[in-house]
Amino acid sequence: MEENRIAVGLDIGTTKIVAIIGQRNDLGKIEVISYGSAPSLGVQRGVVVNITQTIDSIKKAIQVAESQVNYKINSVAVGIAGQHIRSLQHSDYVTREDSESVINDIDLDRLTDNVHKLVMMPGEEIIHVLPQEYKVDGQGEIKEPRGMFGGRLEATFHIVVGQITSIRNIARCVKSSELELHTVNLEPLASADAVLNQEEKEAGVVLIDIGGGTTDVAIFKDGIIRHTAVVPHGGNIITNDIKEGCSIIEKQAELLKIKFGSAWPGENKETEIVSIPGLRGRDPKEISLKNLSRIIHARCTEIINAVFTEIKNYGHDQTSKKLIAGVVITGGGSKLKHIKQLVEYLTGMDTRIGYPNEHLGSKEALDKELNSPIYSTAVGLLMQGLSSRKDGNFVDLMNENDEKTSLDDPIQTSNESPELTPSEIKKEKIESEMDPVARTPKQADWFKRWVDKFIELIDD
């Protein structure tokens, strides 16, 4: 990894697309330099359904981020999610010719390469191969086999698989936006990096990332990722339920959910009414907050029960798999009122809301804006970009003669994202000389090779 590296995380979500530029300070914390956001118009449930609209949305977010600094973004760390993602467990082994020599990276690479040769269902591609634990000559529960002697090396892997067409569509949108794919990461793992600490991962914790189109689940135990899943429902389906149940338009339903919505119907009285303006000359519509919370509660209960099924499939009830740290909720859906209490009630597990402040370095206004569950995935992708060992620059310093994008350009402004208007984005002046940054943990070589192979596939 380069010293003083500046990286860019790009979160292509169902409701919004966010680009964050950042670097590490002397203490290893992340300092955000600039960020931009735009409504996501071409993505449904984490899957691209309109290439042109997605490209336009990516360009808007990138241009907003670039407009505040003297950098030109040329490469991004991209996240992959969506209902096409699935996971499975697999065990494999290799036999070593010389059992008198110590196990090294070559042996681990051979073992991982064997897993990558597995035959998946038609149209699927392996995204991540995550080692769980190793065995050396039958001796189990080994976390780090390097330096040990042995003739047979075994391992259990957690494999994340996705539809290659969906992944290639994401990559094509990025490349068509004149950007390079620097790294490709699973979004639940990126969110986990942003909001979980190592103690929670060791004790056992469930991360629930409630996005606009999907709800991502990641389970950690003993510091290792143990289970991942994607529930094909998110905040948008709650909005749609409100729209249908109250017979109002989608924009009004979203505002109702944000301002008056609650996942717990017990607190509202039947007499509490909110008035919605009527459409073009029609009378206002009165909506009971009690009915509103019942609609939200029903859908939230369905989503959380689906997540709890994944937790039980992992084996949480077993003593050896007890998740002591409970549940951490993040994503835009975690801002819904009383969602924390509903999760605790349905799962019986301690719950907290996850903010990406674990790794943000300063108390500057820019970092405070990003210290929201909405930006957990984007911050996590930025972290993984900074940790990447792959060569290449994410950004280039712009010369005075280079054209700087103006925010007055219609493509960069949107009435649908008022919270991120240019006047509210803090302008940061970037110094030409920056302090050295702390080195971050190494990313596995096999994953670097997979990314290179995947990008070659996209180019073909």
Instruction: Measure the CA–CA gap between 385 and 269, rounded to whole angstroms.
Output: 48
> For every one of its 460 residues, what pLDDT tens digit does the chain have, with 9 covering 90 and above?
445 789 999 999 999 999 999 998 888 888 888 999 999 989 988 889 999 999 999 999 999 999 988 889 999 999 888 788 888 889 999 999 888 899 999 999 999 999 988 888 888 888 888 898 899 998 888 889 999 999 999 999 999 898 888 888 999 999 999 999 888 888 899 999 999 999 999 999 999 999 998 999 999 999 988 998 899 899 999 999 999 998 899 999 999 999 999 998 877 777 888 888 877 778 888 899 999 999 999 999 999 999 999 999 888 877 678 899 999 999 999 999 999 999 999 999 999 999 988 788 765 656 677 888 999 999 999 999 998 877 778 888 776 545 554 444 443 333 343 343 333 333 333 333 333 333 334 444 544 555 565 555 555 5
Give me the half-sphere count of Cα atoms (radius 13 Å) on the Cβ side of residue 72: 14
- Residue 20: C-alpha distances to residues 128, 278, 342, 382 (Å): 24, 39, 32, 7
CA–CA dist 221, 314 (Å, integer): 11
Q: Which residue type does 48 have?
A: V
Angle at 308 between CA 304 and CA 309, to 5 degrees: 120
CA distance 457 to 152: 34
User: Domains along the chain?
Assistant: 6-83+165-194+376-459 (3.30.420.40), 86-161 (3.30.1490.110)
Note whether 285 and 322 are within 8 A (CB).
no
Q: φ, ψ for residue 75 (rounded to 5)?
A: -150, 150
Q: Burial code of 220-247, b = ≥16 C-beta within 10 A, e = fewer? A: bbeeebbbbbbbbbbbbbbbebbbebbe
DSSP 8-class letter at 149? B
From the number of C-beta atoms within 10 Å of its C-beta (0-12, 13-18, 19+), residue 26 rates as exposed
